[in-house]
Chains A and B, each alone.
Chain A
């Protein structure tokens, strides 16, 4: 079965999402073993890849401009060139080999959506700040930033079909199902959670596992004793020449969802590129 990671980027006025996807793809090449390091990119304009020094880190490039911004992620099942896929948010970095997670999913799941996240200290996050809508409306705590799925599965098709329908009809679904706390935007996380709840498949697609482990760097959920607008005001981001990352005093081993897009500077890209070139 052909497995790979899928990254979907779209045009944005101020954020270069392609650059973030590029950093993530390099970090996948740097850390995953052969057979688990394939990366497919969905981009609205292939020409943009000409600006990258090593665009070969994308094994597949799919030009697609049917949807704007993040709505595209709800099409992940149709866009993936792989038999089995993990679709990732692009503002993430891989820190070590996670292929054993994939082995589990390949063997045991048609669909699995991340349902936990961790602070930079490795503590499990209980997110009551950014997930009020989830809590008040009793939605399953799904994170679309790491979504595993196989093609040609009825479960997968139903889940994504409904997810797309929800994204396309946010007012109707919000007014019907999210009445206790209406989210400002019905995003992919909410759509996936609602789809799982309506189909009553949460126990099949988001049962408790110790993985995937994703460090979620939204500032208000780091168990700090005060509110924070921006995590980098308080702790450092230290990427060394071996591609090892420390956040504050903590060495990171799990997937890091850094959230602050400016962390991927030219210097960071250069460090990651040098490692992949020597590999």
Chain B
């Protein structure tokens, strides 16, 4: 069975997702020892060429699949430590992963998920067609997480995190991804039924609902991908050498404490701090 990593990157005015995907793809390929594929769009490719990362991306990714850039009205507030900006969020085509992946078993990851271990390798052979991360773990303490980091709404279902998804390409998972597409296309209906805020389309929510429905509207306690160690966007990736030095804001304010991360996969929500450390991260690939 062929195995590989799939990453989506559609640049916005403010965030260079292509660069992050190159870093994320390079690290994943190195530590999991499987090939990687990038899904992107013409405008992002043009930017990659202009910013001279296209060649490097071609080395990292065995395929660069160019698709139509999704139209979006999606915006979200992204923090960079104490600063923040409202930026476009182009994420609505993730459900095409089943069609686009060249692999029989795929690890779909967000471009801000950096892999520094082979922990996820354990899951290639798990006898489950679809695995999604069941939760996130805040690097500082889960007390900083909000209720809606655990549930899609106040009374709704458990939130799974589509930051890491592993699936086998078969008819069962096709139904799953088709259902994710259907939920995306009827998002307001599902927002009414599952009582969540429809203002921003979130893959995490669409994936969670699809999983819930296909499990007979029940909680599935079967094995899933492990919780995702997460550095919130109020925290900062400060420097990178053999270890990552991060600044954590325990109270989500302007006071920080320092910590180190070694050989551990991490979801870095502060995207600008990944970009700032691009050279050092590239050194690790």
Interface residues of A (CB under 8 A from B): 121-123, 222, 224-226, 234-235, 246, 248-251, 253
Contacts and interface: CB of A to CB of B under 8 A. Distances in A.
Nearest to B158: A121
Contacts of B217: 246, 249-251
Looking at B154, B194, B216, the one whose CB has the most chain A CB atoms below 10 A away is: B154
Interface in B140-155: 147, 154-155
A160 B193 CA distance: 46
A250 B219 contact: yes
Contacts of B194: 249
Contacts of A249: 156-157, 193-194, 212, 217
Given A121-B157, A122-B218, A249-B193, 10 more contacts: A121-B219, A224-B154, A225-B154, A234-B154, A246-B217, A249-B157, A249-B212, A250-B219, A251-B216, A251-B217
A225 B147 CA distance: 7
13 contacts: A121-B158, A122-B221, A224-B154, A224-B155, A225-B154, A226-B154, A234-B154, A234-B155, A235-B155, A249-B156, A249-B157, A251-B216, A253-B218
Nearest to A234: B155
Looking at A122, A249, A250, the one whose CB has the most chain B CB atoms below 10 A away is: A249
Contacts of A122: 218-219, 221
Contacts of B216: 251
Interface of B: 147, 154-158, 193-194, 212, 216-219, 221
A174 to B, nearest CB: 36
A250 B154 contact: no
Nearest to B218: A251
B124 to A, nearest CB: 29
Contacts of B193: 249
Q: Is the interface of A mostly helix, strand, loop or mixed?
A: loop
A248 B158 CA distance: 13
Contacts of B156: 248-249
A123 B221 CA distance: 10
Contacts of B155: 222, 224, 234-235, 248
A31 B218 CA distance: 19
A76 B157 CA distance: 38
A250 B218 contact: yes
Contacts of B218: 122, 250-251, 253
A235 B195 CA distance: 10
Nearest to B212: A249
A229 B154 CA distance: 15
Contacts of A121: 157-158, 219
Contacts of B221: 122
Nearest to B194: A249
A227 to B, nearest CB: 12
Contacts of B219: 121-123, 250
Nearest to A120: B155
A214 to B, nearest CB: 16
A248 B216 CA distance: 13
A226 B147 CA distance: 11
Contacts of B157: 121, 249-250
B215 to A, nearest CB: 9
The 5 closest A-B CB pairs, nearest first, are A251-B217, A122-B219, A225-B147, A235-B155, A234-B155
A221 to B, nearest CB: 14
Nearest to A246: B217
A251 B217 CA distance: 5
A19 B213 CA distance: 33
Nearest to B213: A249
A123 B158 CA distance: 10
Contacts of A250: 157, 217-219
Nearest to A251: B217
A241 to B, nearest CB: 17
A204 B150 CA distance: 36
A114 to B, nearest CB: 20
A222 B155 CA distance: 9
A121 B217 CA distance: 10
Nearest to B148: A225
A225 B150 CA distance: 11
Contacts of B212: 249
Contacts of A246: 217
Nearest to A122: B219
A39 B185 CA distance: 49
Contacts of A253: 218
A253 B212 CA distance: 15
A123 B155 CA distance: 13
Nearest to A253: B218
Contacts of A222: 155
Nearest to A223: B151
A242 to B, nearest CB: 13
A225 B212 CA distance: 21
A123 B157 CA distance: 11
